[in-house]
Chains A and B, each alone.
Chain A
Amino acid sequence: MSVVAASRSEFTKQFSTSMWWILAIVLVAYVGFTAAVLAFALAASTTGAIGGEGPSLPAEQISPLLYSVGTAVGYVFPLLIGTLMVTTEFRHKTLTPTFLATPRRGTVLWAKIVVGIVVGALFGVIGVIASVGPAAAFLVGYGLDTDFASADTWALLGRMLIAYVLWVVIGIGVGALVRNQVGAVVGVLVFTQFLEPVARAAAAFVEQIEPVVRYLPGAASDALVGASIFTLSAGPGGGTGDPLEWWAGGLVLLAYAVVALLLGYFTSWRRDVS
């Protein structure tokens, strides 16, 4: 009951500022552009439209690879929006009225998770459309199969939505843990755009760190989705050739979310608000 009321409140908060649609626009632009460029390159090289020195993929691998750009590249957006859902409250001191209206702080966090799931699904749909749209257009343009008839493709898109939702929840945990908005955003960007890609690239060459790297959140996310541009960049048959099962990847991602939430709740969320 109380969680329902708090969730409605969080829902109003989430959609009464412009943050969500600004992030959505950036997500569409970023993912859409990346998907379009990759789709053009892969489709052209596979069909031999541009001179074929580069690595060319079997045609049946191209569509999942392109569709998964929405998570492989775009997962930073759900992570950010989850983080911001919490850190804005710290930043603008709105936790005071929030906790006055809902004194049970666990309830507030649950409400944020509920809304986070909704927002994650929404962003997932947007991200999937942003990656699938341009990719499918190029595939059709080059006469390749879009694989929309295949159940596997729809399963992949569904797993992408799950990944988006989990990323938002992880972001909520991170936000609750870090509190400082600038710190959290910078941390998220540095980790997702720099640290983890470097680690995964390194794992392609150093086999010893590969068992660790595969449990990094980005790698787990890719494992959950089942395809990623990063598996391509590692080279066919390269170091990350043995990813986790999709459900295992999902569990790892879920574990990250739970750990971040618990840490945030016990170390930071229950602290004095002043």
Chain B
Amino acid sequence: MPEGLALEFSGLTKRFGAVTAVSDFTAHVEPGLVTGFLGPNGAGKTTTLRVLLGLVRPTAGTATIGGLPYAKLKQPLQTVGAVLEASSFHPGRSGAAHLKAYAQAASLPTSRVDEVLGLVGLADAAGRKVGGYSLGMRQRLGLAYALLGDPGVLVLDEPANGLDPEGIKWMRVLLRQLAREGRTVLVSSHLLAEVQQTVDSLLIISQGRLVFQGPLEDLADPTEYATVVDSPDRPALLAALTAADVPYELLRSGVTIRGIEPARVGAVAAAAGVALSALQQRGPALEEVFLDLVNGARVHPSAAGVAVVEAGETDAAPAVAAAETPSGESAEPETPDAAGGEAEAAASDTVPVEPAEPGGPVPVGHTEPDELEPEDEAAAADAEAAETSTLSATFDTETGGTPQAAFVSSAIAAAAAAYRDDEPTSYEPAATETPDETTDAAAEAPSDEESAASEATPADSESPLDEAPAVDVDPATPITASFAVASTGIIDIVPPPSDASTDSAAEAGAEDSDVDVEALDDVDEELTSADEERVFAMPAAGGADDTDLPEDSDVDVEAIGEIDEELSTPDLSDDEAAGEASVSSPDVEGDEQRPWGEYVKTEADLEADRFFAAFDGSSESSDDASEAPDGGGESPPDDTGGGEGEPAEATEENQDEHEGGEPR
């Protein structure tokens, strides 16, 4: 059994001409753990790994494996296995011959070739030329190369690239197993979500500097955790908390208590004889913390001497980083600040994340006992102060209603899907999905001003659920209302007991939420980030569908930045989405690079939706209602950017669409 060796980076610096790729990087990687090496693209991950492997000569500093530089290793392949890129193969050589050549170079028996090929599931393709391999097969072949010498140290650069969800899962299990055997596993990624479930420990690099080093649990400050509790008998709960001198805030999703363990809160409730419907601990979204670390908005003590990026520089950064896609920027060149602020606001709902924007602290904890949810948008209002009043109005009507939860989850689903999209091409369909989903939510809220809404906010006109709670919405309020809801609502996603469940609109909403929860589950698989939240008690009233939400909310939170991105550009994509939907052309589906990155409902999904809808005990009409928005979501436009120049036409189409949707 090969033993894992510690990896040591000491003052590592690499400059390429004037560009400093890695700057004074000092870190330590322990054997027996899976260590994630995270950073945005271009942060210096690959350079660092290549220095470690002796492929790139450092400008200064050292990188050693068990105390030796790579070139001094007696048996390099038997000591370190590395997967650096998916394309290091001669296309005309068979997979087996590729491995055979390197087995010979490392003086390994050629029988190892068949062993590792079987291990990675390529035994059948061994004799085929690599040129005919899929990207996933190449990744597996790369991994086979790394495992050739049964090394004690494994270094993998973005191993999940090109793997399908099944492959990612397989890779995850394999890496965990290898670490359990005592090996050192260092795996780089630009997505925290991708490795979150796998890694024990993290190194985070940004702009060539280490910004975090330590176990995953240390990423978020424990004091940032809060306990969320709720009870069907809320006044009794509040009275009990007050009596026990427990400070609380009343949020839409329940009562939030900061800095106190769920156990104690539960004890307080138990002592007072209050039945609870929910009790859970909620932490900050790790992805948000990660992004803050990466763009310098947050500094972790584990990485001393890190230069803090100036606030002015960071306020646009979260939006960009959250999107991880160039088109995210280009989609809204005018409002990067707003988007950034909203991302912050989103995070600040549960956690007082230090806002990156210089706009001031995010007010959290503004309490309104008579309303169930509204303080959340106060946070959002920090970014979009002008909208606050209308937002509140919108929320008030939503109070306690399921439709909002439905909307929130639908927006999440779309955004979470969009979150995975790195490719500009696939980004756009996803983007249009979001407005679609948003649209039905928006429609649920402000519906009685139909015509006004359809003129001012095209999204509203798509509303299939016009019988939803009515409110007078300021026509000037753009779709920002929805994104404010989205950004805050996502975190507090647990829907209150649905006392209004007989209302058909509410049922439609519940149905919708159900649908999206499934989407979430799918995305969740991808994002791998589930269960950072600890659910201690079961929501009582929510029913089967609702119980999914708390678990997923973690994932969703990561997508917040994305949602904001999407939603803050409603006039572009909504117009387009509406226009496309009106002619119902489901065209884009094949052009995304990562098909799992966005969620497009298939027949089977709709089937499953109906199945789950049965559990709601709702009337048949909810089926129709729930399918309507989905239908819209399935026909995204192929060019969102094209919507810019045709607002007039779009409005017209929106009205058409609106009329078409009304009879339902």
Contact = CB atoms under 8 A, between A and B. Distances in A.
A250 B416 CA distance: 69
A102 B78 CA distance: 12
Contacts of B246: none
Given A103-B70, A273-B56, A19 B92 contact: yes
Contacts of B76: 100-103
B82 interface: yes
A98 B57 CA distance: 16
A16 B85 contact: no
A193 interface: no
B106 A94 contact: no
B55 A100 contact: yes
Given A12-B104, A16-B97, A273-B55, A93 B50 contact: no
Contacts of B54: 99-100, 103
Given A6-B105, A101-B77, A93 B87 contact: yes
B100 interface: yes
The 8 closest A-B CB pairs, nearest first, are A9-B105, A16-B97, A101-B105, A8-B104, A103-B71, A12-B101, A272-B56, A273-B55
B612 interface: no
A104 B97 contact: no
Nearest to B71: A103
B432 interface: no
A150 interface: no
28 contacts: A5-B105, A5-B107, A8-B104, A8-B105, A9-B101, A13-B90, A13-B97, A16-B93, A16-B97, A17-B93, A92-B89, A92-B91, A93-B88, A94-B89, A94-B90, A96-B55, A96-B85, A98-B102, A99-B55, A100-B53, A100-B82, A101-B76, A101-B105, A101-B106, A102-B105, A104-B71, A272-B50, A273-B50
Contacts of A8: 104-105
Given A88-B90, A93-B88, A103-B76, 14 more contacts: A5-B106, A9-B101, A13-B101, A16-B100, A96-B55, A96-B85, A97-B145, A98-B105, A101-B77, A102-B105, A103-B71, A104-B71, A272-B56, A273-B55
Contacts of B104: 5, 8-9, 12
B631 to A, nearest CB: 46
A98 B82 CA distance: 12
Given A17-B92, A94-B90, A12 B50 contact: no
The residue among A8, A10, A17, A103 with the most chain B CB atoms within 10 A of its own CB is: A103
Nearest to B129: A17
Interface string A12-39: 1100111100000000000000000000
A274 interface: yes
A18 B93 CA distance: 8
B47 interface: yes
Contacts of B88: 92-94, 96-97
B345 interface: no
B184 interface: no
B84 A96 contact: yes
Contact of A274 (B47, B89, B91, B105): B47
B482 interface: no
Contacts of A17: 90, 92-93
Contacts, number: 87
A10 B105 CA distance: 8
B483 to A, nearest CB: 41
A99 B82 CA distance: 11
B94 interface: yes
Interface in B88-124: 88-94, 97-98, 100-102, 104-107
B73 interface: yes
Contacts of A10: 101
Contacts of A274: 46-47, 50, 55-56
Nearest to A91: B90
A102 B93 CA distance: 20
B102 A9 contact: yes
Contacts of A103: 54, 70-71, 73, 76
B56 A12 contact: no
Interface in A154-180: none
Contacts of A6: 105
A15 B104 CA distance: 14
Contacts of B98: 16, 97
A87 to B, nearest CB: 12
Contacts of A16: 93-94, 97-98, 100-101
A224 to B, nearest CB: 33
Nearest to A92: B90
Contacts of B46: 274
A146 to B, nearest CB: 40
A100 B50 CA distance: 10
A17 B91 CA distance: 9
B105 A18 contact: no
Nearest to A11: B104
Contacts of B57: 272
Nearest to A271: B57
Interface in B48-80: 50, 53-57, 70-71, 73, 76-77, 80
Nearest to B80: A100
The residue among A12, A19, A93, A94 with the most chain B CB atoms within 10 A of its own CB is: A12
A12 B108 CA distance: 14
The residue among B73, B80, B84, B94 with the most chain A CB atoms within 10 A of its own CB is: B84
